[in-house]
Each structure stands twice: as structure tokens, then as C-alpha cells.
Structure 1
Amino acid sequence: NNAKNELCSQNGAKKTENANVLRPLSVENMDGSDTMEDDWDHLKNGDLERKVFAPRYSLVREIGRGSYGVVYEAIARKSGALVAVKKLRCDAPENVELALAEFWALASLEKRHENVVQLEECVLQRNGMAQKMSHGNKRSKQYLRLVETSLKGERVLSGMEEPCYLWFVMEFCEGGDLNQFILSRRPDPCNNASFMLQLSSAVAFLHQNNIVHRDLKPDNILISERSGSPVLKVADFGLSKVCAGLGTGAGAGPGRDSCEPKERSRSCVNINKFWLSSACGSDFYMAPEVWEGHYTAKADIFALGIIIWAMLERITFIDAESKRELLGTYVRQGRDIVPVGEALLENPKMVLSIPQRRRSQMSDVLRKLLRDMLAVNPQDRPDAIELHSRVGHITCTT
């Protein structure tokens, strides 16, 4: 009974915490200019009550859970619109780094793009106090402490008695991810052509805005069907890099990530000359050079090639951890399946069998495009702008 009462108490505390977290506590908080300490001063002085608003969002249900965060379906109380709310606990430097990477990437975009998930707002919560975050808010002590935690690699913001969370409020995509959408329907050449164009458009937009995604995979591509036809949304920017302020690449060099979260200089930027060194991503979509830890934005092009190839031919594998069937191409080595990037790293002269299916309807021009996207040498791959142009030409002529 004691254990049961303790569990009920914990669940009740979680519900209270979730219910209150997105309640903006003061007018000043709404523009991000106040710090948490200012709100505590209001509380101590007893004048907070007159500044309290009703919670802005109601959490409906949990729709996803990862290693460092939970995603909920929620309703915006004012408009009644459905939104997705991602709750990230900032209790360890690696979690803070992932959360800030996503925030920097989405908040740095000056324009919206139909095929990139839209961040509506980001809220920092500590001890039930909520503060709207803004990109590069140097007046917020809590924001600066988060950055310091990420840079130093040690916890400087809060202990176990003071949980800290970042809440991302984003557009809701009711169609699930690309895996679910493709594998639950019959093959549709029209959808395939549309998805190729949408994906290449999204990556071109991100690269033009100096963002390298670094974790493109079907899990991170969501589907919205509100318009009546499926619209892809590239999401999950936890591993992304915002490349900025380095001009034509001065200061960029092998062996270290040369992208930093600072005010961006858009002129004279060539994102394909910024070298990154942190090997990250998901095995089946990683380019050969990522396995070596020395790569550029062209790694996103390789990942997109794997996704498009798998989507067109409905090539899947069973993920060892989640046991889910996922879209992804691979190379067979005996009884084992090996990620294409890893296989190419071991044997750069290997010729990929594109298409894999004997009865494939894949055109010669599309086969050539996939071969170029999956080239061992990243310099032989098209950049994002060229890729989008070539995909547009293919989809217009088929």
C-alpha cells in the first residue's frame, strides 16, 4: 500500500507539473526579458497572483518517447489548434546540448518552409516557473546557464531538487512518420514523386540557411495531411549544426566542428566547406565520411539518397532495438546486413545495385541521380540546390 501510495503521489506530481508548466507567469515573461529570479521575487512579494494567466495548452496524450524527451499531443486553449509539445529534461550536459541544438536550429530560421516542422515557441521551466525563450537571449541568466552547461560538459544549472525542462511547442503532424505512412499504403508513384520534391526542397532550404541536419531518416520525417494531400515535415534537430559567422570557411578545418551558435553571416557562406568532426546520426543513413568523423553538409545528401531509394523500392530492415520495420537500404554480407555507408567505407570501389528489385520501374535518370547522391567521394555528390533542381526535372518528366 505504501508503494502504491508513493506511485500515486508521483503520478499526481507529474500531472500537476505538466498542467502548470506552460502557464506564463507574468506579462514580462512573455517577451523573454525577465529571468526566473525575477519571477521568484514576485512570488516572495505576494503580487504574483494578479499576473497569472490560464495555462495556454492542455496536454491530451503522449505520442512519442525518446532517450531524453517525451512528445505530447496538446491543444492551444485560445485557438483550439492541435500542437505537438516536446518536453526535454535538462538534467545532464548531453541532454542540454541536444535540446539547445534543436532550439538554435529552429529559432535561427528567419522564414518558414512548408516542409520543415515549425517551432511555435520554446519555454524554459524551472521549479514550475515558466519563461519563454528567445534565440541568443543574453539577458536571461537561465539561458546562459544552459549554454554554459552545454559548453563545459558539466551540470551547472540545477540539481535533482530543481528539475529544469525545455518545452518545444511545434505544429502537430497527424500522419505519423514516413515509415508508417509508406508501409501502411500501397505503392503510389505520385506520392513518391511529390515526396522526393518536398524532401529535396526542405534540405535545400536548410542548407541555404546554414543548417546541417545530421540525422535525416524516415523516423524524423513527419506527415501532415491537413491540406488534403500529404505534406512532409523534416523534424528532430537535436543533432543539427548551425554553421555561421565563418565567412567562406576561415577558421574551419578538419578535426573539429566549425559551426557555432552565433549570429549568422549569410553572405559568402558555403556550407559544403564547413568541416564537422562529431560522428553522429543513425547507422543505416550515415555517409562513409561520417563513420570516419570528417564530413560536411554533403552527408545530408547521402542520407537523403538512402531514404529516397528505400522509399521508391520499399526496402526495409528490422531495427534491432525497437523491433520496428524501417525504411532503409543496406548491403548484404553473408547473413548480415551492413549500412551502405559503412560498406562503402570498407570497399570504396563497390558498385551499388540500383535498383535492387528486378521488376523496378526506376528510370535511368533517377538511377543516375541516386548513384550520384550515394557517391563515396562527397565532392561527387550534388549540393542541395543542384539536387532539388534535378529532382524537379525528373518529377516533371515522369
Structure 2
Amino acid sequence: MEELYTLEKEVGRGSYGVVFEGHMARTGQRVAIKRLPCSNPECIELYLQELWAMRATAESHVNVIALHSCLLQTGPRSLRPLKPGVLPLRLVESVLKGSVVGAPQSQGMDNGRSTTKRRTSSVSRLQDRTNACQAEPKLNATDCTTPQRPQCRAGKRPSQGEAEQPGPQRRLALWLVMEYCDGGDLNRYLLSRPPDAERNHGVVRQLCRAVAFLHGLGITHRDLKPDNVLVCVTPKGPVVKVADFGLSKMRGGLGDGGLTRQHFSSTCGSDFYMAPEVWGGLTYTAQADIFSLGVMFWAVLERITLLEEGTTQEQLGAYVCKGRSGWLMPLGEALWENADLQLCIPMKFKRAPPLPPPPGPSVCVLLSDMLASNPDARPPADQLEARVRAALKEDSH
């Protein structure tokens, strides 16, 4: 590794593996390097999906994280770059066989069982942190535990303990070398700064462009949320980058409108951003990404946040308060239970200066359309930026 890249320090740790800040040995360019331990076939399948999607986007769009290179590690000192367009056969074979190639049979079987267990989380209370403003919020890239989680979580990512399994195959790993984003994720960037309407509008427009680009390539992200949006700080303002394609699905040769006809069945994503049809276990299309964007846009524009009880992890996200006790329920779950539910946009309570003004009538109509229970009623990605611009312009008058 040191012949190609220098690892400086760890900057993130999540369900899959570890992200380091590093530098290219020859040029000194700063990069982010993600190590993905290939300890079981379920993890490997997600890693290959992420690699395939990132190769498709390459460095083609300013608002999508750029992949510089990928390396395969097969031993303590064995590391080789992968050729563009080629997947490592050893990992593909592991996915097809359902066990890590070269590992003892018992290990492969145990790993397979460990990631397919279904569990129902206990109902936990979430504290309302609407419009909270902290100078330095303590954030990390983990999901909030959500009330009434669905029983079937086929796309649920393995826990960190499951991702790192001891044994002979612990050294088998993929290393993804990507552009470095010095602003952290969208939660950290926005919540560590005073509210700014123009900055929020810029973030929303950039996310529109990113998702339109991905859908145009036939890529459905399936896990859009602030944690998976990174920020590069520039003199002209923040440049946001959609990242983390582990749950994405890619379809080729679709033609115009084809992506909205491609259906998926795996229940995956992050609770507060999942569409109603995903919550209900129905088949769904790329329009589920539009619902996730709607949740993010609403939270960004109004600075709506939530906090899991007993933690200091604050994150941007819209929700529904249920009952007198004020339990927080994800919008998708609430709309699945009641498709006729009328969302209160803007969220009129607990607003205080110096918060940005609430979104105007035109933006509120757009948010309602993006959060529609019926996926076909949501605007497609290729029309979204134009609608955002028109709504902001109309409200400015």
C-alpha cells in the first residue's frame, strides 16, 4: 500500500469497514481510502455492487463521489490494483457459492447465517430536536433506531461485529480510493454552521442534479440520506457529493423512462428516509429515491433534526409526531399506515430566530409532490431541478 498510497489517519468507521485519510505517493494528492473486509458473501455482494456503480459514475459528475482506483488485498503484504471494468473472480465466485472462496467450510456457512438473521428492534423514544442549533454537533454515520421497524429487513447491513470476522480470510479486502471531502457529511456540515437559506437552496439543487445523473445511468441509490452525502468546501461554497453505493442497483439499456419501470423487492434503506412502498414490503422503483430526497429537502430547508434518546447524535430528518407522547415516526411508515395523511409543510412549531424562513407555498407544493404516497405522483428525477428552480423563483417574488 505504501508504494501507492500513504495512510494518514482514520476518519470514519461504519457497518462495513474503515475510511482513512491518505495521500497518493507520487503526487501527494489527498484521498479517502475505504477498506472493506471481505469476510462473508453477503458483504462481498454489497461491495461489488458499490464498486460497479462507482465505476459507472467514475469522475463524470461533480456531485457524485469520484472513484480513483480499487485494489484487492489477499494477504498481509499482497495488494494489487484492479483493472477498469474487471471484477475480481475470487469475490464473484464467493457470492455465487455462498461462502468465501478459500475459507474453511464452517466459517463460510457461519458467516452466511450471521448476516441473514432477522431481528425486531425494541421501540425506542426519539427526542424532538427540531430547529436545534449547536456550534459543534457530535455526529457519526450510524442510523437512528426507529419506532416500529418492519419485521423483514432483507437489505439490512451487517453490524460492525459481523463485518470483521476472525480467521484465515481476515486479510481478504477491497480498498476503494476516492476523492477526499473535507467538509464531512451533510449532517455535520450544515448543523455546525448558522442557518443560511442560499446555502440550503444550493445544496438542494446540487442533489437534484446528482440523482438525475444517477437515474440517467440506470442507477437507483436506495439509501439516500444526509449521512451518505459528503461535502467539499470551496471558496464558492459547498459542493455536495452523493456517496455510498452499497445498496444501489444498476440497470443498463433501459431507454427513456425505463428506470421507473424497473422494480425492486428488497426492503433496504434507512428508516427515516424510506418510501411508503418500501416500508410496506411492496415492489418499488427508482421513485423511492425521490421520496428520500423529499425527506432530506424538507429537513434541510427548515433545519428539522432529531436525536435518539441517550445519544448526542443529531441528524437532519423530517418525521411525524404520533400520539400525545410525541413518538417520532418516519414519514414513509406514517404514509404506509395512512395514505391520505396530510403532512404539515412547513412544520410550523418550534421555529425561532436565527433560523431560515420557512419554505414558500410553491416549494411546499413541490415537497408534497415528492412525498406523495403514490410513487407515480412524484416528479421524475430529470424534471426535479427545473421544478426546484421554478418554485424558488416563484416564492422569491
Q: Please give the TM-score of this superposition, normalised by the length of structure 1.
A: 0.77
Match for residue 73 of structure 1 among 14, 21, 33: 21
Give yes or no for the alignment of 1:102 onto 2:90: no
* Structure of higher RCO (CA pairs closer than 8 Å, 6+ residues apart): 2
Distance 2:280 2:228 in 1: 23
Partner of 1:208 in structure 2?
216
Higher helix share: 1
- The DSSP-based 3-state class of the residue aligned with 1:230 is strand
Change (3 A) 1:308 1:278: same
Alpha-carbon distance in 1 for matches of 2:265, 2:254: 22
Contact 1:223 1:232 in 2 (8 A): yes
Aligned mates of 1:276, 1:129 — CA distance in 2:
37
Bigger Cα Rg: 1
Check the 8 A contact 1:222/1:235 in 2, yes or no: yes
Q: Structure 2 CA distance, aligned partners of 1:369 and 1:111? A: 30
Contact 1:158–1:164 at 8 Å: present in 2 too? no
Match of 2:278 among 290, 296, 311: 290
Tell me how large the CA RMSD over aligned residues is: 1.8
TM-aligned CA distance change 1:227 to 1:57, over 3 Å: farther
Q: What SS class does the counterpart of residue 349 from structure 1 fall into?
A: coil
Contact 2:59–2:66 (Cα < 8 Å) also in 1? no
The gaps in structure 1 that reach 5 residues or longer are 1-21, 24-54, 245-264
List per-residue Cα deviations over 1:212-267 (Å, max 9, x = no partner). 000000001010014541100001111111112xxxxxxxxxxxxxxxxxxxx254
In 2: Cα distance, 1:81 partner to 1:228 partner: 21
Q: AA paired with 2:232?
A: S
1:111 deviates by 5.7
* Residue number in structure 2 paired with 1:129: 78
Deviation at 1:158, TM superposition (A): 4.2
What per-residue deviation string (whole Å, max 9, x for no partner) do you get for residues 345-380 of structure 1? 011111000000256431111000000000000000
Aligned positions, number: 322
Give the CA deviation at 1:77: 1.7
Distance 2:392 2:94 in 1: 46
Seen in structure 2, the aligned counterparts of structure 1 residues 60 and 218 have a Cα distance that, compared at 3 Å, is same
CA offsets 1:34-57 (integer angstroms, 9 cap, x no match): xxxxxxxxxxxxxxxxxxxxx111
Out of 334, 340, 346, the residue aligned to residue 355 of structure 1 is 346
Measure, in 1, the Cα distance between the counterparts of 2:348 and 2:50: 37
Q: Which residue of 2 aligns with 1:51?
A: none
| Secondary structure at the counterpart of residue 122 of structure 1 | strand
CA distance in 2, matches of 1:153, 1:395: 50
Contact preservation (8 Å) 1:64, 1:71: yes
* Whole-angstrom CA distance in 1 between matches of 2:31 and 2:48: 20
Which residue type is aligned with residue 362 of structure 2? V
The code of the aligned residue for 1:307 comes to M
- Cα distance in 1 between the residues matched to 2:313 and 2:339: 30
Find the aligned partners of 1:212 and 1:393 in 2 and give their Cα distance: 25
Partners of 1:226 and 1:311 in 2: how far apart? 20
AA of the residue aligned to 2:80: Q
CA distance in 1, matches of 2:102, 2:236: 45
Q: Distance in 2 between the 1:90 and 1:378 partners?
A: 36
Gaps of 5+ in 2: 105-166, 352-356
2:187 maps to which of 179, 182, 198:
179
- Equivalent residue of 1:225, what SS? strand
Match of 1:342 among 312, 319, 333: 333
- Matched residue of 1:239: which SS? coil
2: CA distance, partners of 1:157 / 1:289: 40
Superposed CA deviations along residues 78-127 of structure 1, whole A, max 9, x for unmatched, are 11111000000001112101211110101122661000000000101101
Residue 275 in structure 1 maps to residue 255 in structure 2: no
Amino acid at match of 1:348: A
Q: CA deviation at 1:343?
A: 0.5
In the other structure, the counterpart of 1:188 is: 196
Corresponding residue SS for 1:353: coil
Question: What residue is the counterpart of 2:109 in the other structure?
Answer: none
Q: Choose which of 285, 291, 298 in structure 2 pairs with 1:309.
A: 298
Contact preservation (8 Å) 2:229, 2:242: yes
Q: Which residue of 2 aligns with 1:148?
A: 93
Q: How does 1:1-398 map to 2 (within 5 A)?
A: 22=1, 55-109=3-57, 112-127=60-75, 128-137=77-86, 143-158=88-103, 160-162=167-169, 163-244=171-252, 265=253, 267-268=255-256, 270-293=258-281, 294-319=283-308, 323-334=312-323, 335=325, 336-357=327-348, 360-397=357-394, 398=396
Distance 1:274 1:134, change over 3 A: farther
Q: Is the 8 A contact 2:58 2:67 kept in 1?
A: no
* AA partner of residue 83 (structure 2): S
Structure 2-normalised TM-score? Answer: 0.77
Give 2:322's aligned amino acid.
Q
Q: What is the aligned-residue identity percentage? A: 47
